[in-house]
Chains A and B, each alone.
Chain A
Amino acid sequence: MLEIRNLHAAIGGNEILKGINLTVRKGEIHAIMGPNGSGKSTLAKVLAGHPQYEVTAGEVIYEGKNLLELSPDERAREGVFMAFQYPIEVPGVSNAQFLRLAYNEKRKHLGEEELDPLEFKDLLKERAKVVDMDASFMTRSVNEGFSGGEKKRNEILQMAVLEPKLAVLDETDSGLDIDALRVVAGGVNQLLTPDNAIIVVTHYQRLLNYIVPDYVHVLAGGRIAREGGKELALELESKGYDWITNPNVAGSANLNAAS
């Protein structure tokens, strides 16, 4: 589904990603971990097409297409979804309005019929159950006045409505208490099918207790420093990132293809 080859990316002339290689197949969950500044959020934003990041080398093939040639909205309509670390507030536009607009843009793109507000209301009601969201959130402005946890739930609600093929969750666990984390992770798990894939970007292992990855990739200095199964995340939790990033510790840094 997704193949990242030797991806280099920079922001303001500063190279952040220095040659990422990653293959994601249908039905898989991949975790991208790493210390602050390792480039994991940059990778998420580059995949979503954030205009501030410049791809300086490499390629990203998504469903046989060159992803980097598509605009952010085209990527979204093609089924790429990024859950934002800091969801944006859109005052004056109701959540329901916004979701219907986004949903219909995708339907149009796929040559399907758009849903009218009533039809969409039913769909929304159904999907809202995934993250246990109250109907009152639908008439409120997008993310405006939402708590941190509510914003993250709203991201997963958007994912539930848009049904992406590839979802990238950028630090979805940040700022969540344990109950909110359970709800959000539970929502993501409900949305997982054999036909889609999820990339979970996270600093901490705890989210991975709920969203269990098939593969864990650890970024350091803009490269994948280590790869493994879910047990790698547990190892990181006990040993810390120093274990990988500190060159004085044996078996680190340059072990690029561990698994």
Chain B
Amino acid sequence: MVTEIARTENGYQAAFRAVRESSPTVPWLELVRGSAMERFEQLGFPAVHNEEWKYTNLASLAKQEFVPATRPAGVVIDAERFVFPETATAHLVVVNGFFSEELSVTTGLENVVAIDLLSAVADARYNKVARSYLARNAGYHNNGLAALNTAFLQSGLFLWIPRNVKVETPIQVTFLTDAGRSDSAAFPRLLVVAEENSSATLIENYVSTHDWQYFTNAVTEIVIKDGARLEHYRLQRESSKAFHTSITSAELGRNGSYDTTSINVGGRLSRHDIAVVLDHEGAECWVDGLYLAGSDQHTDTHSVIDHQQPHCNSHQLYKGILDGNARAVFNGKIFVREGAQKTDAMQTNKNLLLSPQARVDTKPQLEIYADDVKCAHGAAVGQIDQEELFYLQARGINPELGRSLLTYGFAEEVIEKIKIDSIRAQLDEVVLRQLNTQLE
């Protein structure tokens, strides 16, 4: 086991040397990448003896030799089919971790900077902002996955919304895997900086062109400055054979607002770490999500909401629907730090098990070090309610359809908050299709 992991790390190490040669960058980033690689060598992939990884075993990922993807050249990809109509003029495409200008449409983004992250770090106009926030919230010193992503930072996307700019068109970033082989690894990276009093809607869409095995290890860092607002949808619809690990880190300025909804549907094994730091007064966040897993899928969400300053509100609703042999993990921590008075924090995790083999480990946690706060949390794991099912049957609806309908209704509580019609409609379809395939 130990030797297997060591061998894999050597594989990444060799690939890392190749990246240094093929993708040189400014000295600052060379340093960051180098030290991230060093950290990864020390940390390796997280293992189950780490409390945060108790229920998610990455051994099968760690022992396979994944090969970091290189910049795709001359490949014709139909990215159009992943575009939601509402974002037709603001669609950014990242293929195997590499930003593709050719596949992107930016006509609706006149006042926004949307460029390759590697260029931003080197560009005198943006490097100050980019360097201030890159690898700041998603630090790689204690996190092997963040370290690995940072070591392979060769492209990615920099999204900068200047002060007072209200972006009307929702911005879609499609992270597309077009591997063509079953041992490809991609390290998508996104840095979003929303300056003072700006507002925007961001959609992150993780998809693939084929139903292959591959490994996506993504990091998204979000900075929301004073008075800025970001509405964020994160759709994880990777191939059913994929490994997907990802980190979302957000920090909020004074009176900043962050409303995020994560939908996790794809992947054989997926893990999402989302962390929101409320370190200025008056900030507010909604950190919601839905995970849907069937057959042998494993899906894990770890969330941290950190109230560091007074007068901040956080709201969290995560729901899970599990069928077949699926396994889910929800771990939600809320910290209320000393002095963070008048905090209002609310957390709920509800799970619906559709099969006797499905299983969920849920652990909502509150750690409060202030005395004038309003906090509540709860978790529930249940099955289809027999009284509800009988009600539907008493109206002539057969039990299979009744179960689907109740399950769909369960998911709707999260889906209906999505303000983009075509996403909502597509998710409704995804839920119903998933149910149909499993009910047949």
Q: Assuming the A-B contacts A73-B399, A101-B397, A162-B396, are A92 and B409 also in contact, with contact meaning beta carbons closer than 8 angstroms in the complex?
A: yes
Chain A residues closer than 8 Å to B395, beta-carbon distance:
73, 76, 98, 102, 105, 158, 162
Of the listed stretches A45-53, A118-126, A199-207, name the one at the interface; the rest are far from the partner chain. Answer: A45-53
Of the listed stretches A34-42, A82-90, A173-181, name the one at the interface; the rest are far from the partner chain. Answer: A82-90
Q: Is residue B420 within 8 Å, beta carbon to beta carbon, of the partner chain? A: no
A50 and B398 CA atoms in complex are apart in Å by 14
Q: Mark each residue of chain B from 376 to 414: 1 if its CB lies under 8 Å from any CB of chain A, else 0.
A: 000000000011101111111111011001101111110
B412 touching A92, Cβ below 8 Å:
yes
B388 touching A72, Cβ below 8 Å:
no
Q: Assuming the A-B contacts A73-B399, A92-B413, are A48 and B394 also in contact, with contact meaning beta carbons closer than 8 angstroms in the complex?
A: yes
Chain A min CB distance to B165 (Å): 35
Chain B residues closer than 8 Å to A105, beta-carbon distance:
395-398, 401
A88 touching B409, Cβ below 8 Å:
no
Q: Is residue B416 within 8 Å, beta carbon to beta carbon, of the partner chain? A: yes
Interface residues on chain A, number (Cβ under 8 Å) = 29
A93 touching B391, Cβ below 8 Å:
no
A92 touching B393, Cβ below 8 Å:
no
Q: Is residue A165 within 8 Å, beta carbon to beta carbon, of the partner chain? A: no
Cross-chain contact of A92 among B391, B397, B401, B408 (Cβ < 8 A): B408
Q: Mark each residue of chain A from 69 to 113: 1 if its CB lies under 8 Å from any CB of chain B, else 0.
A: 001110111000110100110111100001001100110010000
Chain B residues closer than 8 Å to A82, beta-carbon distance:
394
Q: Which residue of B lies closest to A109 (CB)?
A: B396
| Chain B binding surface, main DSSP class | helix
B409 touching A93, Cβ below 8 Å:
yes
Most buried by B among A49, A72, A77, A105: A72
A73 and B402 CA atoms in complex are apart in Å by 10
Q: Which residue of B lies closest to A77 (CB)?
A: B396
Q: Is residue A141 within 8 Å, beta carbon to beta carbon, of the partner chain? A: yes
State the total of A-B contacts with C-beta under 8 angstroms: 79
Q: Which residue of A lies closest to B416 (CB)?
A: A92
Chain A residues closer than 8 Å to B397, beta-carbon distance:
73, 76, 101-102, 105
Q: Assuming the A-B contacts A90-B405, A90-B406, A93-B409, are A76 and B391 also in contact, with contact meaning beta carbons closer than 8 angstroms in the complex?
A: no
Cross-chain contact of B405 among A77, A101, A106 (Cβ < 8 A): A101
Q: Assuming the A-B contacts A50-B390, A51-B390, A101-B405, are A91 and B413 also in contact, with contact meaning beta carbons closer than 8 angstroms in the complex?
A: yes
Q: Assuming the A-B contacts A90-B388, A105-B398, are A49 and B412 also in contact, with contact meaning beta carbons closer than 8 angstroms in the complex?
A: no
A189 and B393 CA atoms in complex are apart in Å by 25
Q: Assuming the A-B contacts A73-B398, A93-B408, A93-B409, are A88 and B391 also in contact, with contact meaning beta carbons closer than 8 angstroms in the complex?
A: yes
A141 touching B396, Cβ below 8 Å:
no
A141 and B413 CA atoms in complex are apart in Å by 11
Cross-chain contact of B410 among A72, A73, A77, A92 (Cβ < 8 A): A92
Chain B min CB distance to A225 (Å): 28
Q: Which of A130-177 contact B (CB under 8 A)?
A: 141, 158, 162
A162 and B392 CA atoms in complex are apart in Å by 13
Q: Which residue of A lies closest to B431 (CB)?
A: A92
Chain A residues closer than 8 Å to B388, beta-carbon distance:
88, 90
A91 touching B412, Cβ below 8 Å:
yes
Chain A residues closer than 8 Å to B412, beta-carbon distance:
91-93, 141
Chain B residues closer than 8 Å to A52, beta-carbon distance:
386
Chain A residues closer than 8 Å to B393, beta-carbon distance:
49, 71-73, 76
A98 and B387 CA atoms in complex are apart in Å by 16
Chain A min CB distance to B90 (Å): 30
Q: Which residue of A lies closest to B386 (CB)?
A: A51
A81 and B391 CA atoms in complex are apart in Å by 11
Chain B residues closer than 8 Å to A50, beta-carbon distance:
390
A72 touching B408, Cβ below 8 Å:
no
A84 touching B391, Cβ below 8 Å:
yes
B396 touching A90, Cβ below 8 Å:
no
Most buried by B among A52, A71, A87, A92: A92
B interface residue numbers (CB < 8 A to A): 386-388, 390-399, 401-402, 405-406, 408-413, 416
User: Told that A98-B395, A141-B412 touch, could you supply 5 new A-B pairs with CB distance under 8 A?
Assistant: A48-B390, A72-B390, A90-B392, A105-B395, A162-B395
